[in-house]
Amino acid sequence: MLPDKVTITGHRYSGSGMEPVDITVCAEYHVSVMINGRPCVTIACSGSDLELLAAGHLASEGIICSQNEIARVEVDEKALTVNVVTAPGAEVFGRLMNVRTLVSGCAGAGPSAVCAVPAAGVPCRIEARTIISMMKEFLGLSDTYRLTHGVHSAALYDAGGERVAFFDEIGRHNAVDKLIGLTFARGMATERMILLTTGRVSSEIVSKAALACIPGIVTRAAPTSMAVDMAREMNIILVTGVRGRGFFVHHGAEYIE
């Protein structure tokens, strides 16, 4: 397994001057994701859970539309490659040609993904105090963040506030991709789950949630204007700025008790 943290030698300045110190930082790897041996995208990531990251990335960009389209995923840590082998008959390359150029690390195909986005429906209901308690637990989960302050986190909770899954990554999009990869791999129903993220909610994040049929997004950070527009269009609960006992609701206030 690739190490997700590295200790480097540096210096720390204090009032008494400069002193040598060991500093723990997040490891970064550039991993090439391939489809049937053909290069697709290079992702800057922490090097962990590469199978879930690759599958989730392709799913959240609308290139893979079903777990049944994946025959197997081949991970080569030494070569830093992940090869997604598709099942016979999967029309993956046709979709890939219709998606704009993929961007590594911080963004993806977003709204131009070509799998059908679910029609607007009725999100699950959730209590305001549950949102507060979820965020409080969520922000205390990452040992890597406490050591390095160099990762984003993402998690899935059910509407009752029970944590379903949690991942760290150096990019907020990649942390979400891992969650989606997990739901694909396990065939998990997501219609009553809430996505929590430490990062800004952009249109790409809303698009990923919509493609994964996740009805709500909660963050301690802020949204973009396009993210708010998309959440309203797709009827996805969007809660931001969760601090202490308060938060902002950009869409879905009627679903929060």
Q: Which of 106, 115, 124, 213 is catalytic?
A: 106
How much is the pLDDT for 5? 87
| Mean pLDDT computed over 193-199 | 96
The set of residues, in sequence order, having a beta carbon less than 8 Å from that of 31 and lying 6+ positions away, is 42, 43, 45, 47, 50, 53, 54, 80, 81, 82
β pairing state of 237-243 and 163-169: unpaired
Nearest to residue 206, comparing CAs of 178, 237, 175? 237
How much is the pLDDT for 161? 96
| Mean pLDDT computed over 128-149 | 94
Q: What whole-number distance in Å separates Cα of residue 20 and Cα of residue 248?
A: 43
Domain segments of the chain as ranges: 29-108, 128-255
Nearest to residue 150, comparing CAs of 44, 37, 257, 39? 44
pTM: 0.82
List pLDDT tens digits, range 64-102: 888 889 999 999 999 999 999 999 988 787 677 665 444
| Mean pLDDT computed over 172-184 | 94
* DSSP-based three-state secondary structure for 208: helix
How much is the pLDDT for 105? 42
Instruction: Name the fold adopted by 29-108.
Output: Ubiquitin-like (UB roll) (3.10.20)
Inform me whether the pLDDT recorded for 171 exceeds 80: yes
Inform me whether the pLDDT recorded for 132 exceeds 90: yes
Q: Which CATH superfamily is domain 128-255 in?
A: Cytidine Deaminase, domain 2 (3.40.140.10)
Q: Decide if 106 is catalytic.
A: yes
Least confident of 23-37, 117-131, 195-209, 229-243: 117-131
CA-based R_g, the chain, Å = 19
